[in-house]
Each structure stands twice: as structure tokens, then as C-alpha cells.
């Protein structure tokens, strides 16, 4: 029986049992649960914010789509008006008719192209700003020092390779 008290495994078992009893008495599980609950609440808040940003981006994209369609409808109305005016002028002169149709059609197409280009530029700019903000937030949250250091090293090597 006295051989059991000499065995180091017995004392390790006793120390481990006392450690777990101490942890239970100090209520470590409550502190761990609180920490996990606060982390879960923080993650949920971030997910809600991301969902809100996503919803805003969709609304913005829909708004620009509506603007684009309105511009297309306006351009179609301009083309229709130009065609009606061209038909009215056909009575006066065939040469004047051809010149008027060409000039009005080019103007309408230019306005369509300009309106479409502006709408696409606005949509791209808004989506880019939102994507950059979201990417910056995600990178800031997930990148540690080792990853940022490796990213900087890669960037330096790429610049050096392009300069040479």
C-alpha cells in the first residue's frame, strides 16, 4: 500500500483532481461562457452589419438599374421624336431629311451611350466603394502580423521585378 504513495503517477492524478476541483470552485466555466457569449454577440453584430451593407448595395444597384432604364426610355423617346420630326421634314426635302435623320440619330445614340456610360460608372463606383470597405474590414479582422509581413514581402518583390 505504501508503494502507491511513492508512484509519481498517483501524485499527478491527485494534483490533476485538485486542479479540476479548484477550477470548479472558482467558477471558471462561467467566465468562459461569458467570454464565448460576448464573442458570439460581437460576431452576430458584424454579420448584421454586413447584411445591412449587402442590402444597401442591392438597393443602390437597383436604383442605378432603374436610372439606366429611365435613361434608355428617354433615349427611346428621343429617337421616336427624332424619327417623327424626320418624317415631317421629308415633305420639304429628301436631302434635308437624310441629314436630319443622321444628325438626330447620332445625337440620340451619343446620349444613350453617355447615359449608359454614366450609369455604369456610377454603379461601378458605388459597388467598388462598398467592396473596398467590406474587403478592408475583412482583411483588418482576419490578417495577422505574419500574413501582412508576407504580403508586404510579396509586394516588394513584385515592384522590384517590374522596376528591373
Residues 98-157 have pLDDT tens digits of: 777 788 899 988 999 999 899 989 998 888 888 888 877 877 777 777 777 787 788 888
In a domain, 75, yes or no: yes
Q: Show the cell assigned to 140.
A: 483588418
| Tally of domains in the chain | 1
Domain extent, residue 136, equals 40-141
Q: What is the pTM of this model?
A: 0.33
Answer for the pair 134, 53: CB distance below 8 angstroms, yes or no.
Answer: yes
Helix (H) or strand (E) holding 141: helix 94-142
Angle between helices 28-90 and 8-26 (to 10 degrees): 60
In a domain, 82, yes or no: yes
* Cα atoms in the Cβ-side hemisphere of radius 13 Å centred on 46: 10
Provide the 10 A C-beta neighbour count for residue 87: 12
Residue 10 confidence class, pLDDT cut points 50, 70, 90: confident
In a domain, 64, yes or no: yes
Residue 19 confidence class, pLDDT cut points 50, 70, 90: confident
In a domain, 7, yes or no: no
In a domain, 155, yes or no: no
In a domain, 34, yes or no: no
Query: Which pLDDT score, from 0 to 100, does residue 91 have?
Result: 64
In a domain, 159, yes or no: no
Amino acid at each position: 500500500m505504501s508503494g502507491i504513495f511513492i508512484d509519481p503517477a498517483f501524485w499527478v492524478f491527485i494534483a490533476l483532481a485538485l486542479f479540476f476541483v479548484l477550477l470548479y470552485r472558482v467558477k471558471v466555466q462561467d467566465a468562459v461562457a461569458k467570454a464565448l457569449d460576448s464573442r458570439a454577440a460581437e460576431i452576430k453584430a458584424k454579420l448584421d452589419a454586413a447584411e445591412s451593407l449587402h442590402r444597401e448595395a442591392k438597393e443602390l444597384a437597383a436604383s442605378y438599374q432603374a436610372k439606366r432604364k429611365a435613361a434608355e426610355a428617354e433615349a427611346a423617346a428621343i429617337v421616336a421624336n427624332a424619327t417623327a420630326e424626320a418624317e415631317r421634314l421629308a415633305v420639304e426635302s429628301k436631302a434635308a431629311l437624310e441629314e436630319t435623320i443622321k444628325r438626330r440619330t447620332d445625337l440620340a445614340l451619343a446620349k444613350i451611350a453617355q447615359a449608359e456610360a454614366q450609369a455604369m460608372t456610377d454603379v461601378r463606383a458605388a459597388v467598388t466603394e462598398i467592396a473596398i470597405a467590406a474587403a478592408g474590414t475583412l482583411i483588418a479582422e482576419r490578417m495577422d502580423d505574419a500574413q501582412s509581413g508576407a504580403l508586404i514581402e510579396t509586394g516588394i518583390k513584385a515592384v522590384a521585378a517590374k522596376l528591373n
